[in-house]
Amino acid sequence: MKNLVLTAFTLVASVQISCAGLIDDLVGKWKVNNTKPGYSITTVFKKVGAKGLKASSTIVIPGLANATGVTNYKANGTVNGTVKRDGVVQVRLSGTWRVSGNTLIEDVKLTSPALPAGGTQKTKVKLVNANKLSTVSTVNGSRTTGTLARVR
C-alpha cells in the first residue's frame, strides 16, 4: 500500500517543468492512465509566477480515505511537498529539479512513518505531446513507469 501511494505521488506530483512554455503546456488537469478499476490519480497544475507550478493531487484507492498531495516546484530549482490522508501527513518530499529539453529530472528525499529510514526518489517526466506525459521513477531502487493524459 505505501509503495502504491509513493508511486502514485511520484507519477502525479513530479511533472512540473520550469521552462515557461512547458509550464503553460502543463497547466490544467491530468489523470494517470491504466489504473485498476476503482482507483484514480488526478492532478491539477496551476502556474505560480513565471517559472513555478503548484500541483494539487487526489489519489483514490477503494476502501481507504482519499489521499491528497500538494507539490511546489520553485523557480530556484527546489521542490517540496506532502501527501496526506485524513489530514495526516503520509509522505514528505524535498529536493531539487531541473529541465533537460522536454524532460523534467527530479531528485528528492522522501520521509514518512512508513519509511522510517527515509528514501530517495529519482524521476524523469517527459512531455510527449500536448495531451500526454510519460514517467519513469525509481524509489529506493524500485522502478515504475506510467503515462498521464490531459483531462478536457
pLDDT at 7: 53
The structure's pTM equals 0.79
Give the separation between CA 145 and CA 136, rounded to whole angstroms. Answer: 4
CATH class held by domain 2-151: mainly beta
Q: Where exactly are the structural domains of the chain?
A: 2-151
pLDDT tens readout for residues 5-18: 555 555 444 443 33
Give the separation between CA 86 and CA 123, rounded to whole angstroms. Answer: 27
pLDDT tens readout for residues 93-131: 999 988 778 887 889 999 998 777 889 999 998 899 999
